[in-house]
Amino acid sequence: MSEPTSEHDRKHPLTTGPGLFAFILWLAYALYVAVYYPDVLTSALVGSLFGLLACLAVLFNFAYWRAAVMLASAVYLSLYVIRIVRMTAIPGDLSFLSALSFYYRVSWRVTVGAFEERGWAGGIVHAFLEYATPLLVVALVIVILLSSRRQRANSRIG
């Protein structure tokens, strides 16, 4: 049976896997930025604002909530890539891959410092945001793309 296509009959995004995943991910990211403000990067602040917009789009069942989630994800990933490229350009005498390896070795030391300075909770949050969040955002993009493709296929059938 196909999904209802009427605006009043369609499922609320929070009752779907992709909508719930997007809401939880962006809300967690925004809460992190709020808790550690003003000690966060400007890029994290910008990413969290777009993430909050995506949360609102999901929460209020905005017709184009998937586009809002994709926009937040694109902004986050763009800012993340810019940060990584800038950090790998600092040691100018290293190749990109060597500089990338150096960046993540130093990042691991920063994570250890976060454990020492902020305790277990702060260290885990830092590690989660540094290592897991970029992967989760990429996974979210894939889930949103697959779910929108499935929705388009169902609307053509029904």
pLDDT at 43: 92
32-38's contacts with Cβ under 8 Å and 24+ in sequence apart are 32/125, 32/129
**pTM for the whole structure:** 0.84
Q: Which one, of 67, 51, 62, 53, lies nearest residue 12 by Cα?
A: 62
Q: Averaged in consecutive runs of 10 residues, what is the pLDDT profile of the chain (158 residues)? A: 50 94 97 88 94 97 96 97 89 86 87 90 86 96 91 69
Number of alpha carbons in the 13 Å side-chain half-sphere of residue 128: 10
| CA-to-CA dists, residue 90 to 63, 106, 142, angstroms | 43, 13, 32
Residue count of the chain: 158
pLDDT at 108: 87
DSSP 28: H
Q: Is 154 helix (H, G, I), strand (E, B) or coil?
A: helix
* Cβ proximity of 34 and 52 under 8 Å: no
Q: Which residue bears the tokens 């986050």?
A: 76
Number of alpha carbons in the 13 Å side-chain half-sphere of residue 64: 6
